[in-house]
């Protein structure tokens, strides 16, 4: 990573630390049930799920209430504290780049979180997510729809479209697409913003 990349990455973390309460309030009540349904239908009941980049803890709590065994992490200490309060469960303070789990989870939920990983680091991070999945496990991920990297209001974004996703997966053996689709933003007033959603399976 270049020095400028480090600066933008840590500004992103600073953004979430400084705006944790606002981010929590803006996201914690968003209805994610349609996305949950597509993910959970590929999993058995009560299996182990990793909420990777959990933000407010909204999704970790939803999965726990449905009887799944949930582990959650986020890179922002401020959001980790809010997520722990919201879920009533421990939340790891961790970056994607530092994950070391091996074949521990049946499903990984990375909702609007991988989009802050620099593009050059995404293949390694996706490899770490693959390693954390059990063989046959399912990864859900979502990105802002587009291509290239950008900075917006102090945050770094890596945008992906279908060709970008295909190029990324070509660098990560053992993760194959199950389904890829686009949606509007689920937050009120932001429906025109597009998201790329993908479900991937660990093949071996």
The model's pTM is 0.88
- Which letter does DSSP use for residue 203 in this model? -
Distance from the Cα of residue 103 to its chain's centroid: 18
- Which letter does DSSP use for residue 55 in this model? T
What value, to the nearest 5°, has the Cα angle with vertex 25 and ends 21 and 26?
A: 115
Using the predicted structure, report yes or no on whether residue 10 has a pLDDT greater than 50. Answer: no
- Looking only at the bridges linking them, the beta strands covering 69-74 and 92-93 are parallel
| Domains contained in the chain, CATH given | 3-202 (3.40.50.150)
User: Closest Cα partner for 70 from 101, 109, 28?
Assistant: 109
In tens, the pLDDT along 150-196 reads 887 667 889 999 999 999 999 999 999 999 999 977 655 555 579 99
Distance from the Cα of residue 164 to its chain's centroid: 17
Query: What's the pLDDT score for residue 140?
Result: 98
- At residue 96, the 3 state secondary structure works out as helix
Q: Which helix (H) or strand (E) holds 178?
A: strand 175-184
Residue 118 contacts residue 5 (beta carbons within 8 Å): yes
Summarize the confidence of residues 22-31 as an average pLDDT. Answer: 68
> What sign for the dihedral angle of Cα 122, 17, 92, 187?
negative
In this structure, how many other beta carbons lie within 10 angstroms of the beta carbon of residue 8? 19
pLDDT band at 3 (very low <50, low <70, confident <90, very high): very low
């Amino acid at each position: 990573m270049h020095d400028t990349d480090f600066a933008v990455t840590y500004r992103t973390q600073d953004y979430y630390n400084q705006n944790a309460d606002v981010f929590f309030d803006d996201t914690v009540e968003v209805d994610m049930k349609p996305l949950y349904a597509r993910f959970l239908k590929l999993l058995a009941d009560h299996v182990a799920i990793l909420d990777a980049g959990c933000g407010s803890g909204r999704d970790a709590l939803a999965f726990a209430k449905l009887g799944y065994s949930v582990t959650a992490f986020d890179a922002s200490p401020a959001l980790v504290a809010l997520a722990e309060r919201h879920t009533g469960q421990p939340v790891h303070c961790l970056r994607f780049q530092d994950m070391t789990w091996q074949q521990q989870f049946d499903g990984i939920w990375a909702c609007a979180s991988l989009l802050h990983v620099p593009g050059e680091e995404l293949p390694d991070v996706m490899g770490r997510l693959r390693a954390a999945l059990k063989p046959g496990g399912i990864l859900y991920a979502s990105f802002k729809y587009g291509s290239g990297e950008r900075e917006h209001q102090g945050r770094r974004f890596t945008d992906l479209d279908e060709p970008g996703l295909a190029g990324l997966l070509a660098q990560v053996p053992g993760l194959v697409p199950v389904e890829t689709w686009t949606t509007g933003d689920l937050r009120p007033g932001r429906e025109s913003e597009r998201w790329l959603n993908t479900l991937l399976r660990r093949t071996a």
